[in-house]
Amino acid sequence: MIEFGQPLALFSGIAIGMPVLAHMAYRTITEKRLFSSLRFISPTTIPRSGRKRPSDWLLLLLRVLLFLMITGMLADPHWLGSSSVDPVPISNDKRLHLIDCSLSMSGWGAWDEAMTALRDQFSDHTSGHGLLAWSDDGLIEWPCGSSLENLRKAVESLSPVHGPSKLNAMLERAKKIMDTEKTLGEIRVYSDFQSSEWQEVQGKLGNSNTQIVLVPNGHGKRPWTDRVGNRAILEAKVMPGGKDRIRIWSVLGNWDLNATSVLVSVLAGGEIRQSQNVMLPPRGSEQVQFNLPSSDFASATIRLEGSDACAWDDNRSFWVTPPPAKEFAILAKQPLAVEDKAEVEFLEAVFESVGDGVWNRWELKDSDQNVECLLIPGFSGWMDEGMELPRLKDHLENGGTALLTPGESFVRMNQCLKDYDLLNFTFHRLAQTDYRMDPYRIEVLPETSPLTRVFSGNSALDLYLTQVRKFLVLRDWEDTAECPIYDRDGRPLAIVRKFPDGGRLVFLCFRLLPDWTDLPTRNSFLPLLVQLCALEEEGAGGERFTGLVPGDCLEDGDSSFTARLPGLFQWMEHRLEVYPKLSESMPEVISREEALEALSGSVGFSITSPVPGFTTPEKKRLSKPLWMWFALGCFVLLIIEMFLSQPRSKPQPLN
Amino acid sequence: MIRTALSLLDPASLAGMDDLSLLAKLVVHGFRQGMHKSLRQGRGSEFFQYRSYDPGEDIKNLDWKVYAKRDELVAKTYQEDTNINLVIVLDGSASMGYQGDDSACSKFRYAQMLAACLAFIGQRQGDRVGLFGGSEDSLEWIRPQSGRSALNRTLVQIGSMQPAGRDVGKSAWERFSSVLPPESIVIVLSDFLDGEIEWSERLRFARSPRNECLCLQVLDGEELNLPNAEALRFVDMERSGEISASPQIMREKYVRSMDEFLENLKTTVLRTGSEFESITTSQDLGYGIRSFLGLRTGRK
């Protein structure tokens, strides 16, 4: 029996073929003839050929047959016949049910359909059923032959999981069961066959003894075609929206074929704060923004009002309160000298300028305890006298950052740093320079410098120091430290030592002169300082919130957090936002052939529609593609057609 | 197989023969056997044959070498030289290459064979034989000369010509008229399909009483009645252009037009003082040869 994989192609093929057929059947055939003179030849109507002679009726019949063959070939013909060879006479009284438990099954009613189908399967009082599914904890397996009561209970306990898909693992397990269970007669796969999930599937369930039955769920009236009728929140972000206000920005997607108006609301503190009507284009997206006061609530939820085919992607929660500010302290010799005071004020201004001032901000703390960064202008012997050096070392070894500028006595400073194993260097001389006609131009950053990533190609390359005070010309330094920046004469401008736990000691080789006039502080010196102190790097408190998807695991020291469900979580000092994988709400599904290919690894594998009852091997159908035979037939018919449609040049008696 | 005289004149039998000299000899000999006429004998430079010596005849006709060998008195006879220049004009335009489905040869091949025969006859009659013709692209001119070598040269040239291109242009015809020697017989072998008005100008030399001209129009049977087919796309052999037509539908009109054209052409040619004969490639070569001999006889 011939079955067509693309039956619609039959109609389209006929629709295309008939006009062509008509054209060919009545086409005019003119033979080219060289003639000595066209002087007495005038154009005439050309009689249509091929209508009345029996031989031409044969040609017409041939052409009809040719187009039928072409149409049949395009319709992907297969021969469905009984297996002539039944390799092993077995009793296939076992049936394994594979259930797709991915989150996408919760949309378009797919899960309910799958559960209903399973309940039907388990209600016919036959034995030999098995079940494979998964949860967040791993695969769930009920071997073939389990009691129907247990299977019914297992089905009721299943639900779509937010975590990563274990479809491949389930299919691998099914393959092993298939290999070991010689009497396994059928594997039934219940899934929505969503493309984002199934396109990565590499099943190898090809086995002539086991029939694979695909049960598409949630496909509605048009199985194996893309679904419609879903709207989703694709993205949502919160950012400062002015003084004491926040701006909520979101992208909404529409997978419907028609434009849809949707009401979007922001909920905070248990009530709707703002709502907007948004018109979503067909198969497109639209942005929406809200501006809310920031101090009233800690979190908010943006929600699409109304219902659609997939509900879980209609809301998204997020933190809206600013995280605590990062702290820095200034450690300076008291009382402050005039030049120290100017430098302290400048550094304080620089640090308070880092970040956006709202969500990512730095604050000066009076105490130097538990701060993230210590600023020590004029580092010298006074640190040792005040017993500050052990605290500085603890601070660095615990992951803190310290910024040092040279003090009055360079020899004493060097000795203190060396004694506490903080930094070891030698220097040529001290340049007492207040004002220079020749500015300290910074060397072009080498490619290996970590600063290149930030400043390469930017205006920061123009950074130069027109005026510095007490420039210390270093000669050599220990290997644990590195010099990321030089002036154009090759003299180091800063030495950085990194400690194992993330601590960072930044030693500037000069004292800052804040009353300089043309140093582009905001544009270049501030980002330079930020980069030298790694103030924005991950782990330095730069990130605001941590976004996770179910299944992600976050570690902090010896503790870890595994995201399972969407929502907002406060874990240790982390504020976490867990949101579902957006790909799970995509409406695209794979075709039946693609599903077959994904499961079997080859085209032409046995596939049937879901049918109630068991299938015996004697009734098993073997599908054999016939397109090659159709193509061969087309070729032969085409050759005959070309031969028969040659212009006739036999002489006819003249009247 | 013994060829009869009739079969030796049949173009279907002769079309495959490459050697025009041999072809002409066979045709003319066969034809003349049927005609029972001898060539003109008399005083000339070209030896013709021996005959018995008649007593009283001038002894300078005796062949003394034969007498010495055979002790027999024989007299040599010579082909009489004439003052006639036989110029064969062979149309080598592309249209002459036409060959109908039922024809044994193309018009050009037919004209080639006929030209060879006429040249052979002319040489045997003692005429000086020359050639003019070809096409616009390849023009041939051999000044009339007497003797066998001149005949051979003419036959080789005829055999090497191929139909291609357009007709010989007006200026070439003017030059031909200017270099044509007096006392010339001009045999024009062409299909004459490029218009009757042009030929009135081209055959201007025939108006002179010292020249004679015979126009032999060579046509294919299909040019008179059109090929048999339901529909054809006619492509001009000389000019660019094509016309799709049904011969069945337009045959009557075509034949009428062609007859009218041939009538007008004949009138035009006759007005120039030339003879005109239309032959088809299915007819044997004797038609053309007879026309030529008729012209010769009339001239004598």
pLDDT tens for A587-615 read: 888 888 888 888 876 544 444 444 333 33
pTM of this structure? 0.43
Residues with Cβ within 8 Å of A385's Cβ and at least 6 positions away in sequence, in order, are none
Alpha carbon of B148: minimum distance to chain A alpha carbons (Å): 35
CB contact under 8 A, B228 and A647: no
Cα dist. A497→A381, A397, A537 in Å?
20, 11, 16
- Residue A85 pLDDT > 50, yes or no? no
CB contact under 8 A, A46 and B245: yes
A36 touches chain B (CB under 8 A): yes
B250 touches chain A (CB under 8 A): yes
Cα dist. B215→A602, B111, B174, B199, B295 in Å?
82, 12, 18, 10, 11
- Pair B262, B199: CB distance under 8 Å: no
H helix runs in B75-234, sequence order: 107-124, 148-160, 170-179, 196-202, 221-225
Rounded to an integer, what distance in angstroms lies between the CA atom of residue A406 and that of residue B157? 114
- Residue A111 pLDDT > 80, yes or no? yes
A34 touches chain B (CB under 8 A): yes
CB contact under 8 A, A33 and B227: yes
Alpha carbon of B46: minimum distance to chain A alpha carbons (Å): 43
CB contact under 8 A, A33 and B232: yes
CB contact under 8 A, A35 and B235: yes
Question: What number of CA atoms fall less than 13 Å from residue B250's CA on the CB side?
Answer: 26
B139 touches chain A (CB under 8 A): no
CB contact under 8 A, A41 and B220: no
* pLDDT value for A76: 81
Nearest to B234 among A41, A650, A651 (CB): A41
Q: Is the dihedral of CA A443, A445, A448, A449 positive or negative?
A: positive
B193 touches chain A (CB under 8 A): yes
CB contact under 8 A, A36 and B237: yes
Nearest to B245 among A34, A41, A650 (CB): A41
- pLDDT above 90: percentage of residues in chain B: 26
Lowest mean pLDDT among A117-126, A213-222, A286-295, B95-104: A117-126
**H/E element, A138:** strand A138-142
- Residue B14 pLDDT > 80, yes or no? no
- pLDDT above 90: percentage of residues in chain A: 8
Rg (C-alpha) for chain A, rounded Å, is 39
Question: How deeply is A52 buried, as exposed, middle or buried, from its count of CB atoms within 10 A (0-12, 13-18, 19+)?
Answer: exposed
Closest to B96 in 3D by CA, of B87, B82, B106, B81? B106
A44 touches chain B (CB under 8 A): yes
CB contact under 8 A, A34 and B220: no
- Residue B36 pLDDT > 50, yes or no? no
A408 or A332: which carries more pLDDT confidence? A332
φ/ψ of A295, rounded to 5, equals -95, -5
Q: What tokens were used for B163?
A: 């139909």
Confidence class for position B286, pLDDT limits 50, 70, 90: confident
CB contact under 8 A, A30 and B96: no
Q: In this predicted model, what pLDDT tens digit does every residue of B186-233 receive, in sequence order?
A: 999 999 987 777 888 888 888 888 888 999 999 999 999 888 887 888
Residues with Cβ within 8 Å of A605's Cβ and at least 6 positions away in sequence, in order, are A206, A212, A596, A597, A599, A623
Interval A89-99 mean pLDDT: 71
Q: What tokens were used for A111?
A: 């899960």
Rounded to an integer, what distance in angstroms lies between the CA atom of residue A461 and that of residue A463? 5
B102 touches chain A (CB under 8 A): yes
Residues of B in contact with A42 (CB under 8 A): 243, 245, 250, 253
Rounded to an integer, what distance in angstroms lies between the CA atom of residue A453 and that of residue A447? 8
The overall longest dimension of chain A from CA atoms, in Å, is 136
Q: What tokens were used for A582?
A: 């957006």
Residues of A in contact with B264 (CB under 8 A): none
- Residue A536 pLDDT > 70, yes or no? no
- Residue B42 pLDDT > 70, yes or no? no
B228 touches chain A (CB under 8 A): yes
Amino acid letter, residue B154: T
Q: Which residue of A has its CA nearest to B252?
A: A655
Question: How deeply is A390 buried, as exposed, middle or buried, from its count of CB atoms within 10 A (0-12, 13-18, 19+)?
Answer: exposed
Q: Which residue of B has its CA nearest to A37?
A: B236
φ/ψ of A534, rounded to 5, equals 55, 45
* pLDDT value for A653: 40
* pLDDT value for A613: 35
Which of A28, A37, A53, A55 to mutate against chain B (most B CBs within 10 Å)? Answer: A37
Nearest to B231 among A29, A38, A39 (CB): A29
* pLDDT value for A443: 57
Rounded to an integer, what distance in angstroms lies between the CA atom of residue A519 and that of residue A510? 15
CB contact under 8 A, A37 and B95: yes
- Residue B53 pLDDT > 70, yes or no? yes
Rounded to an integer, what distance in angstroms lies between the CA atom of residue A408 and that of residue A341? 14
Q: Which residue of B has its CA nearest to A49?
A: B230
CB contact under 8 A, A30 and B244: yes
* pLDDT value for B115: 92
ipTM above 0.95, yes or no: no
- Residue B297 pLDDT > 70, yes or no? no
Which of A31, A41, A55 to mutate against chain B (most B CBs within 10 Å)? Answer: A41
Lowest mean pLDDT among A15-19, A494-498, A509-513, A548-552: A15-19
Q: In this predicted model, what pLDDT tens digit does every residue of A8-61 receive, in sequence order?
A: 777 777 677 776 666 666 655 667 888 888 888 888 877 665 444 555 677 778
CB contact under 8 A, B228 and A43: no
How far is CA A441 from its chain centroid?
Answer: 44
Nearest to A43 among B96, B243, B248 (CB): B243
* pLDDT value for A506: 92
Coil vs helix vs strand at A148: helix
* pLDDT value for A302: 92
How far is CA A548 from its chain centroid?
Answer: 12
Confidence class for position A616, pLDDT limits 50, 70, 90: very low
Residues of A in contact with B244 (CB under 8 A): 30, 43, 46
A52 touches chain B (CB under 8 A): no
CB contact under 8 A, B102 and A651: yes
- Residue B111 pLDDT > 90, yes or no? yes
Cα dist. B126→A77, A310, B45, B132, B151 in Å?
86, 114, 10, 19, 11
Q: What angle do CA B212, B217, B222 make, to 5 degrees?
A: 175
Q: Which residue of B has its CA nearest to A649?
A: B229
B179 touches chain A (CB under 8 A): no
- pLDDT above 70: percentage of residues in chain A: 77
- pLDDT above 70: percentage of residues in chain B: 86
* pLDDT value for A84: 41
Residues of B in contact with A39 (CB under 8 A): 193, 261
Task: Determine if the peptide bond prior to A335 is cis (ω within 30°).
Answer: yes
Residues of B in contact with A31 (CB under 8 A): 229, 231-233
